[in-house]
Structure 1
Amino acid sequence: MTFPQIAPRTFVLTALFLAIGGSGGALASFVGTPMPWMLGALVASGLVSRFAPERHWDGYGFPMGFRTFFVGLIGVMIGTQVTPDLAALAPDLPLTLGALFVFVPLAHFTNMTIFRRLGGFDRATAFYAATPGGLMESIFMGESAGADIRTLTIQQFLRIILVVTILPLGLSLWTGQAVGSSAGLSNGPQDPVDLGSLALIAVTAVLGLQIGRRVRLPAAQLTGPLMLAALATLTGALDLHLPFWLIATAQLVIGTSLGMRFQGIDAALLRRSIALSLVSVSAMLLIGGTFALILHAATGIEALHLLIAYAPGGVAEMSLVALSLAASPALVSLHHVTRILITVVEMPLAARLLRLRAGDQ
């Protein structure tokens, strides 16, 4: 993996936004909010990118290569959680994974109806904005189909942002404690991690990312490091433990990059998009919660774990929520990667079935 060259202006602005996000994360941690370092950073960077004068960072974009490295670290952390106990769930996986073949089209067409009836979107924009996963694929396919790219992109990013905001808040009310507090994330050893161990963690993340991309794994930035760390852990080749401060830093980077998505969106469009996304996300979480309860009754797997596995957020973001609750993060990640794969396959098939054309109303 070669790290991209970062221009001095990009470096300074990235450091500035991370500092702003860190301030928001520290405040959220002090207040005791769920997932403080991710949600606090998201809110702080989102407010600044939305309301501060754009002339100071015109043309700036958060460096995705930098974000990818920290997503890789999350993959390593999840990989270290893969234990032989996960094999005990194998008999139930065909049912819980198979149910995603029903969940994905059901969530997709429920969303499409919401965007068509409440949002007044044209058919192509509603269809591609409604997908419960496959963010980049839906944007690329939507552009080819003549969808309104700005509206589609905003709704897709809001899906991820609202899921990772609403779910931890709801789970905090349910469990009675802040999800992702330092206590919740500190379920590993608290001894100081030496430089050699930190180097091994970084090498595992980078090498896993390279392997994941080479073999074209879905969500390679997460699944590549995850599989490599899991293999190292299960074979006893390595004993990797990420310290809390590194996990919190990964939350900070991901939260800040999500907050930057509000850059350049006018207030009227943002209000309308958030209102529609709240209805859309609530509907998907309701559908996912129903699936979780049914599958819990059928398999005995904890409903909370299944709810996180069926919540249509980003793979990295939902994996962080799972890590925070020790909610079988490997199980959760497996379901989210499968959801994305099913969505990417379902999109062109459903588009052909619906005969979507540019300009269709």
Structure 2
Amino acid sequence: MTLKLALQTLILTALCGVGGFAASFLHLPLPFMMGPLIISGLIATVFADKLPDDYRFPMKFRIVFMSLIGVMIGSRVHADLLPEIPSLLASLAVLSGFVFAAHGLNYVIFRHLGGYDRPTAFYSGTPGGLMESLAMGEEAGANLAVLTMQQFFRIITVISIVPIGLSLWHGAPVGSAGGLSLGSAETSLSALPVALAVGLTGLFIGTTIKLPAAQLTGPLIAAAIVTVLGLADLALPQWVINLSQVVIGTSLGMRFTGLKGRMMVVAAGLSLISVTVMLALGALCAVLLHRFTGAAFDVLMISFAPGGVTEMGLIALSLQANPALVTLHHVYRIILTVIEMAVIARIRPKDRL
């Protein structure tokens, strides 16, 4: 990353950080991610001409902070969690059905309501596997600009609706909007180098063996191993968690650089319909599993919400749900979606998707 790009990114992140404090003052859910996302989204779409030519948010900068989020989630895994794994079989089985049903319903929405061509509708409707959907969709002849918008709108719509919906469900603000903290204000800076080393090690291994969402799952698994074995205390101070959310929110909003006009409005409307349908389906699955397994409804709801792995892990943390169990569900959802895409693409010609 050049010095010029680094300076531009630091200025942008600082500006969006102000949006995080404003969102915190307004008691918005996940304020230090939602505030920067809103600010950077406005900059990318309304004030794109004010940005330097060809500016792109550096993903390597983002990955460092995503690794720290992975460490934070992994540090919540303790040995007493392991006996719960067999009880997950029921929810993972239901999640399998959810993936196929959600993709089918989304295809109908994008194909018949949105009027998209078959490849674009098929890959826009995947309930996970963002990068894989873009890569396979481009290869199949999908409209990449539309596909990119729909996939990012899916994530942003989910992380906007889910915390608000759960606040309404509980009848009061929940998570960070209700004053809960993701980190520890008393943690010293001495824990940060160890956490960063564990995160980067997990990132390297996860990327090498090609784990799904490796920038999160690699550090998560590494931190979980370190925590379960009692090798180190990986607790992170609150300001590090807030900064990580600011960087992630800023980078998400900047994905919309240069997008404007009717196409964006249509994509946002279709995304709202699609996400509403998927969340309703996820809520139905959560209600059924709650009745048969006794698992908490809100934890199940987060587990079925088709957002980004990092973002849903943050929501789980902010609600004091078990982030490791929630993340496991989302990693499984991504793996299953990618397998489903590959199988269907292989057995059906792209003009018959």
For the aligned pair, the TM-score class normalised by the smaller chain equals over 0.9
C-alpha distance in 2 between matches for 1:295 and 1:178: 22
Task: Provide the TM-score with structure 1 as the length reference.
Answer: 0.94
Note closer, same or farther for the CA distance 1:337–1:53 as it changes in structure 2 (3 Å cut): closer
Letter in 2 for 1:119: G
The residue aligned with 1:124 is 119
> Percent sequence identity over matched residues?
47
The residue aligned with 1:229 is 223
The offset of 1:89, in angstroms, is 2.0
38, 52, 61: which one aligns with 1:57: 52
1:185 aligns with 2:181: yes
Letter in 1 for 2:322: S
The offset of 1:270, in angstroms, is 1.3
Question: Is residue 287–residue 297 contact of structure 2 (8 Å, CA) maintained in 1?
Answer: yes
1:285 aligns with 2:279: yes
After superposition, residues 20-39 of structure 1 pair within 5 angstroms as 20-39=15-34
The offset of 1:224, in angstroms, is 1.1
C-alpha distance in 2 between matches for 1:143 and 1:248: 35
The offset of 1:56, in angstroms, is 3.3
Q: Which moved more, 1:309-318 or 1:17-26?
A: 17-26
The offset of 1:47, in angstroms, is 0.7
The residue aligned with 1:14 is 9
Letter in 2 for 1:304: D
Question: Is residue 32–residue 243 contact of structure 2 (8 Å, CA) maintained in 1?
Answer: yes
C-alpha distance in 2 between matches for 1:297 and 1:88: 21
The residue aligned with 2:213 is 219
The residue aligned with 1:147 is 142
1:162 aligns with 2:157: yes
SS of the residue 2:210 aligns to: coil
- Structure 1: gaps spanning 5 or more residues: 1-5
The offset of 1:53, in angstroms, is 4.3
22, 36, 47: which one aligns with 1:41: 36
The residue aligned with 2:109 is 114
- Runs of 4+ with deviation above 4 angstroms: none
179, 198, 209: which one aligns with 2:203: 209
- Structure 2: gaps spanning 5 or more residues: none
C-alpha distance in 1 between matches for 2:84 and 2:295: 8
The residue aligned with 2:339 is 345
Question: Is residue 171–residue 179 contact of structure 1 (8 Å, CA) maintained in 2?
Answer: no
SS of the residue 2:215 aligns to: helix
Note closer, same or farther for the CA distance 1:189–1:62 as it changes in structure 2 (3 Å cut): closer
1:242 aligns with 2:229: no
SS of the residue 1:184 aligns to: coil
1:331 aligns with 2:316: no
C-alpha distance in 2 between matches for 1:56 and 1:335: 38
1:316 aligns with 2:310: yes
Cα RMSD (Å) of the superposition? Answer: 1.5
The offset of 1:152, in angstroms, is 0.6
Note closer, same or farther for the CA distance 1:145–1:338 as it changes in structure 2 (3 Å cut): same
Q: Which moved more, 1:116-125 or 1:216-225?
A: 216-225
What do the CA deviations read for 1:317-343 (whole angstroms, capped 9, x no partner)?
110001111111000000000000000
